[in-house]
Amino acid sequence: MHSPIKFFAGSANRDLAIKIIDGYNQAQKQMHLESGNPIDTLKTYSLGKSSFIRFSDGEFITSLDESVRGCTVFLIQSTFPPVDNLFELMLMVDAAKRASAYKVVAVIPYFGFARQDRKDQPRVAIGAKLIADLLTAAKVDRIMTMDLHADQIQGFFNVPVDHVYASALFVPYLKNLNLDNLVIASPDMGGSKRAKAYSHFLGCDMAIAHKSRVKANEVGEMMVIGDVEGKNVIITDDMVDTAGTIVMAANIMMDKGAKSVRVVASHPVLSGPAYERLNNSPIIEFITTDSIPIKEGASDKIKVLSIGPLFGDIINKVYNFRSISGSFIV
């Protein structure tokens, strides 16, 4: 017998949380129809009531304003800056556990600090491992996230991790563009595996923009490996922060004779001069998701595909002990 299910959201992603719950409702309805079960008595879920109170000194309190005793609780919150978003999630996990929730699942569409996945220089922290330890200390039972900066971060947790891939949305969208002479490009060597997977499913060639970084958020030199002349180029990445790398890659692709350049990125961090750089670049379309909220009206080039239905479907499958691997393309 299943435990009751409840959904709550932190203050960072409430709009996305509602879309995820709507996606869950649609997924459970579809599952019942396929199983031949009646849907007239099927419960429709909504966002649970919760409170967020901030003191004048910046300290804050979170509370779940309805019973979760014996429930499987899904807490939806991306952990993009400020760090308050992460701490709010951990407080919500603790509140649910202390309220006798049966299981607590943290749904983290964008997992912050994921770029700190290894010790790449002396005397630096492995931030992603520390965040994993903090969530484990808060006694979370399961993690759901999307397109981690490095796949090995899943191993930082001692609880199950459901790793969702936005390619399930991007690949069908790109196919519907019906672009000829298509080339998938990676903005760096680290993303070549992702680009190769996209090129496989889209049946096209790939290229790589090899870069050297001067320091964080600052790219030194870049060169293109592969033929992009006369091609419609799609640059793929897991996240775009200041947009310096992808804009430099787009400029080089156009200099090498590319017909057009589009960008596909799972997480639109878009900090600092990112919007200005995108607007002034030769990139004709920036395709991303709503894992992080986008500034309204900041750029006409941005196309947002909602991950709500995707996460709703994954939650339904996990809750009903079904495999999720068939939901992914890459």
In the prediction, which pLDDT does 32 show? 86
Catalytic residue among 211, 215, 259, 301: 211
Query: What are 3-13's pLDDT values in tens digits?
Result: 999 999 999 98
CA distance 217 to 219: 7
For 316, the 3-state DSSP assignment is helix
Helices (H), 115-163: 127-137
pTM: 0.92
Indicate the pLDDT class of residue 65, thresholds 50, 70 and 90. very high
Query: What are 66-120's pLDDT values in tens digits?
Result: 999 999 999 999 999 889 999 999 999 999 999 999 999 999 999 999 999 888 8
Query: What are 164-213's pLDDT values in tens digits?
Result: 999 999 999 999 999 999 999 998 887 888 899 999 999 999 999 876 65
Quote the Cα angle for 24-26-29, to 5°: 105
Collect all residues with Cβ–Cβ distance below 8 Å to 291 and sequence separation of at least 6.
16, 78, 109, 110, 146, 166, 266, 267, 268, 307
Compute the mean pLDDT over every residue in the chain, rounded to the nearest whole number: 92
Query: What are 138-170's pLDDT values in tens digits?
Result: 999 999 999 999 888 999 999 999 999 999 999
Q: How far lies 111's CA from each of 84, 150, 269, 295, in Å?
A: 14, 11, 11, 20
Quote the Cα angle for 223-301-23, to 5°: 110
- Active site annotation includes 211: yes
Query: What are 267-302's pLDDT values in tens digits?
Result: 999 999 999 999 999 999 999 999 999 998 889 999
Indicate the pLDDT class of residue 326, thresholds 50, 70 and 90. confident
Q: 30-39, 240-249, 271-280: lowest mean pLDDT where? A: 30-39
In the prediction, which pLDDT does 236 show? 95
> Virtual CA dihedral for 128, 130, 133, 138, nearest 10 degrees?
-100
